Amino acid sequence: MGDFTKIVPKTEEEYLTSRKNHLALERLFQICIEIVIDICAILINKFKLGVPANEENILDFHMGKIDNIEYLKDMKKFRNFIVHKYGEFNNQLVFRYATEKKEDFNNFIGNIRKTI
């Protein structure tokens, strides 16, 4: 998945003052979360777990199998927020996710390696 450390500015102020940083980080999150969803969909198919009713249910199929699935569901909601620009956009929240939540992607990768 994307290497956040290469594009995340060292300080929140540096991030907040650069539109380029906003756009790069938003897009990286969107892509990484979409990759998570795609991988989960592939695993549902591979292990013949059934057919999800919709994209919202894809992560539900992995409850109890992937340790950090609740965090990933939160990130999926965040991705929807970024993509659809629900409400007032909060760049401080983007920076917080980039600095505090990036390990969730690494944990997901570790869980997937154990699964397959």
Residue ranges of the alpha helices (H) in the chain? 12-16, 19-46, 55-58, 69-84, 91-100, 103-115
The pLDDT tens digits for 64-92 are 888 778 888 888 888 888 888 766 778 88
Contact 82, 26 (CB under 8 A): yes
Angstrom distance (rounded) from CA 98 to CA 78 = 12
Contact 58, 40 (CB under 8 A): yes
Per-residue pLDDT of the chain (116 residues; tens, 9 = 90+): 556 667 788 889 988 899 888 888 888 888 888 999 999 999 999 989 899 988 878 999 888 888 778 888 888 888 888 888 766 778 888 888 878 877 888 888 888 888 77
